[in-house]
Amino acid sequence: MNKNTHEYSAFITAIGTAVPQYAVPQMQIAQFMADALQFDERDRRRLTALYRQTRIEKRHSVLPDYSRENGDYTFYPNTPGLEPFPTVGQRMLLYRQEAVPLARQAIETCLSKRSGFDRQSITHLIVVSCTGLYAPGPDIELIEALGLATTTQRLAINFMGCYGAFNGLKTADAMVRADPDAKVLVVCVELCTLHFQKKTETDHLLSNALFADGAAAVLVESEPVSEHLALRLRSFYSDLLPEGKAEMAWHVSDFGFEMTLTSEVPRYIQQGIGELLSRLLQKSGLTIGDINLYAMHPGGRKILEVIEQQLGLETTDNRFAYEVLRDYGNMSSATVLFVLNAVWKGLQAGDTEPAVAADGHILSCAFGPGLTLESMILDVVGQPVTTSLTSTVRSSAAIPIG
């Protein structure tokens, strides 16, 4: 982009992800939960069925406990029922110990993919998290750990849940468009497994079956690197469905943060996503037929299926989201960046099926408390894939208006 035109754009020039060392099979976590909740055989079978239905194979945690037998825990008490149950203070202490190292790992991976990049040129750091709070916080600790300039401008985006990455990206987009010399580092770090709630209500059982730990970072600049892949932040659109705010919530309790996630969430997303994406496409000057790839936040299997039904998609269109859900579970705000990273790798390998050239478009969405619907379109630029651009042509009429 010619900086003299004053029509600046923002580009994701690198992405990095990280997960904690403890990778636990989904069914082993189900066993831990059944033991912790002291379920009888009938309830154990029901819980096992719920965990199988998630399509998650494994999740990662900073805690070794979920992969250990009772009597060998390091965080939870080695007692029947895990009593006394860990307090908010104990959970936040562990967040302070584990969040920054995991975030730093994602950032180092991100910056390593931007060859020749001088980290001293970073002007802004945005830290996104909804699973822990303290001050001086992760933003300051990351400045020190990464050796960034003390004049780096910092912003914390907290407690927004699964759509938090979108607010981080929108902020970075605004910063770069306002100042083409800005180089913005955005990192999402979530330690969801610190907040296991020992409750038997359905929404708590579902939350315990989905959420995991992870971190992801992106570098946003005003120009792509010559001959390298980049993703232009083309447009954003968000909406709010207040009638669904009771179905998804995130509150601080005496024993950690409590997630409310009811089975009604997919129904509300089904009602709102058509109009949301119609307005996003209209704002972008595109139709659904122009979209080549999808990077949907895998909030759960049912949410992905609802999106497919409403937009007329095949399961393969959502394959990157399903891959992340299978291998990592739902890592709240970091998850959609994991999906974008999977798309990025597919583009680099030239095996995106359909193949995407240097002018393709990616549609991405995430959902969270409010009930909030966030969406964006990214343009594929640089590093053209040798195969020609193709797209599964869909009529824009497949997206209902209103």
Per-residue pLDDT tens digits for 79-130? 988 999 999 999 999 999 999 999 999 999 999 999 899 999 999 999 999 9
According to DSSP, the residues that pair with 157 across neighbouring strands are: 128
DSSP state of 263: T
110 has catalytic annotation: no
Does residue 31 sit in the same domain as residue 103? yes
CA neighbor of 360 nearest in space, from 399, 322, 387: 387
**pLDDT at 203 (0 to 100):** 82
When comparing pLDDT for 8 and 145, which is higher?
145
pLDDT 10s digits, 44-60: 999 999 999 999 999 99
Q: What is the CATH number of the domain that holds 16?
A: 3.40.47.10
Is the CB of residue 375 less than 8 Å from the CB of residue 364? yes
Does residue 201 sit in the same domain as residue 269? no
Strands 230-240 vs 58-61: parallel, antiparallel or unpaired = unpaired
Residue 354's SS3 state is coil
Number of compact structural domains in the chain: 2
With 80 as the cut, is the pLDDT of residue 392 above it? no
Specify if 152 maps to a domain.
yes
Does residue 41 sit in the same domain as residue 161? yes
What does residue 355 show for φ and ψ, rounded to 5 degrees? -65, 145
The tokens describing 255, both together, are 């024993």
Contacts of 200 (CB under 8 A, 6+ apart): 37, 43
The tokens describing 359, both together, are 């002018």
- Give the domain range for residue 146: 11-221
Q: What is the mean pLDDT of residues 12-19?
A: 98
Is the CB of residue 132 less than 8 Å from the CB of residue 92? yes
Specify if 4 maps to a domain.
no
Q: What is the mean pLDDT of residues 26-40?
A: 94
Average pLDDT, the chain: 88
According to DSSP, the residues that pair with 231 across neighbouring strands are: 12, 380
With 80 as the cut, is the pLDDT of residue 393 above it? no
With 90 as the cut, is the pLDDT of residue 33 above it? yes
% of the chain surpassing 70 pLDDT: 91
DSSP state of 269: H
Specify if 2 maps to a domain.
no
Cα–Cα distance for residue pair 377/315, rounded to 1 Å: 20
Q: How many CA atoms lie within 13 A of 327 on its CB side?
A: 14
CA neighbor of 234 nearest in space, from 375, 373, 354: 375
The tokens describing 172, both together, are 């970075």
Does residue 28 sit in the same domain as residue 173? yes
Specify if 168 maps to a domain.
yes
With 60 as the cut, is the pLDDT of residue 400 above it? no
Confidence label for 271 from pLDDT (cuts 50, 70 and 90): confident
Cα–Cα distance for residue pair 8/6, rounded to 1 Å: 6
Residue 235's SS3 state is strand
Is the CB of residue 377 less than 8 Å from the CB of residue 276? no
Residue for token digits 């830290």? Answer: 127
**pLDDT at 358 (0 to 100):** 56
Specify if 226 maps to a domain.
no
CA neighbor of 52 nearest in space, from 33, 27, 78: 27
**pLDDT at 385 (0 to 100):** 46
Does residue 372 sit in the same domain as residue 325? yes
Domain boundary among 196, 221, 246: 221
Given the residues 110, 130, 162, 365, the one annotated as active site: 162
